[in-house]
Every structure is written in structure tokens, then in C-alpha cells.
């Protein structure tokens, strides 16, 4: 009798651990043109992702803020710039509002499956995930196209360091 109880506990434990290992997690992935993995960071439902770069014509930073959606897309929540000229550049209908010392381009929320970005030292592209900033420009030689997207993988792949 005791042997059966121990076997049952063992089976339940194995099934529970297997289920936990297969639990899906969401990751922010930045992939280079040659499929090189540049960023692979786990995020939560309420995470905030911000892509910041220096505007090449007007200077100052532009920050595009995104939130993950249940469907696995990146929902653009805002576009904020350091100066009015850069904001007007993005405001196709001219709607710009001052936000403290910065300027927000009034844009509708929009979901993206992936965001292509040309990363270089001129733009000094940075990716901030839940307050942690990663210097994308330092990860490329010269200028390189990258792809920013969300991916879903089993928890086991993260625990085992199997990447995005």
C-alpha cells in the first residue's frame, strides 16, 4: 500500500513538473538580419517596452512606448519627443501635445506583429524593458536592420538557456 502511494506521488510530481516546464512565457526578441539573437528578455503581462533613438534631422530623443497584448503583438501606446519639430515630423495630422518638457504625438493605438528598426550609432537606439535599458547601437557594427517582436516559448527553454 505504501509503495503505491509513493508511486502515485512520484507520478503526480512528474506530471506537475512537466506541466510547469511547458508553461508559456513571453519574451521580447530583437533579431539581427543574419538571425543573430541580440536581445531575449522575459516580460510579464503588464510590461512596458520603449524604443528610444535620437532623431536624425531635429535631434533630441524620440521614444515609442509599447505594451504586450494577449495575442502576442506590440501595442503602440505613445510617441514622445524631446522637441516640437521632431514631434511634428511624426504627426501626419499635426496633433501634438506638450507633456512637461517633451511633446507627445497624438497617434491611435496600433498593434504590430513585429517592428523593423535600422539601428546605428547616429540614432543611438536603446530598448528599455520594464526600466532596464539595453544599448542596441552597441550591439551592431555600423548600421544594421533588426526586428523587434514578441515570442512565446515554453518556460523550460528559458530555464535551460535555449534562447528565444
- Per-residue pLDDT reduced to its tens digit, 118-139: 999 999 999 999 999 999 999 9
- All three cell numbers of 126, joined, read 536603446
Identify any residues that bridge with 148 across adjacent strands, giving them in sequence order. 30, 115
Largest CA distance in the chain: 79
pLDDT band at 13 (very low <50, low <70, confident <90, very high): very low
Say if strands 143-154 and 114-120 run parallel, antiparallel, or are unpaired.
antiparallel
- Per-residue pLDDT reduced to its tens digit, 75-128: 999 999 999 999 988 887 879 999 999 999 998 889 999 999 999 999 999 999
What is residue 48's predicted lDDT score, i.e. its pLDDT? 96
If we measure between CA atoms, which residue out of 104, 108, 130, 112 comes closest to residue 44? 130
Q: What is the pTM of this model?
A: 0.82
Amino acid at each position: 500500500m505504501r509503495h503505491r502511494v509513493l508511486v502515485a506521488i512520484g507520478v503526480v510530481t512528474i506530471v506537475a513538473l512537466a506541466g510547469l516546464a511547458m508553461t508559456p512565457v513571453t519574451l521580447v526578441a530583437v533579431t539581427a538580419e543574419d538571425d543573430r539573437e541580440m536581445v531575449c528578455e522575459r516580460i510579464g503581462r503588464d510590461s512596458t517596452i520603449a524604443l528610444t533613438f535620437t532623431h536624425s534631422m531635429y535631434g533630441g530623443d524620440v521614444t515609442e512606448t509599447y505594451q504586450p497584448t494577449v495575442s502576442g503583438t506590440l501595442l503602440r501606446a505613445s510617441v514622445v519627443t524631446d522637441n516640437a519639430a521632431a514631434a511634428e515630423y511624426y504627426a501626419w495630422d499635426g496633433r501634438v501635445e506638450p507633456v512637461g518638457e517633451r511633446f507627445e504625438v497624438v497617434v491611435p493605438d496600433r498593434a504590430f506583429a513585429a517592428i523593423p528598426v535600422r539601428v546605428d550609432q547616429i540614432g543611438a537606439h536603446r530598448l528599455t524593458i520594464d526600466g532596464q535599458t539595453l544599448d542596441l547601437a552597441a550591439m551592431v557594427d555600423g548600421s544594421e536592420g533588426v526586428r523587434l517582436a514578441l515570442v512565446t516559448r515554453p518556460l523550460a527553454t528559458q530555464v535551460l538557456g535555449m534562447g528565444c
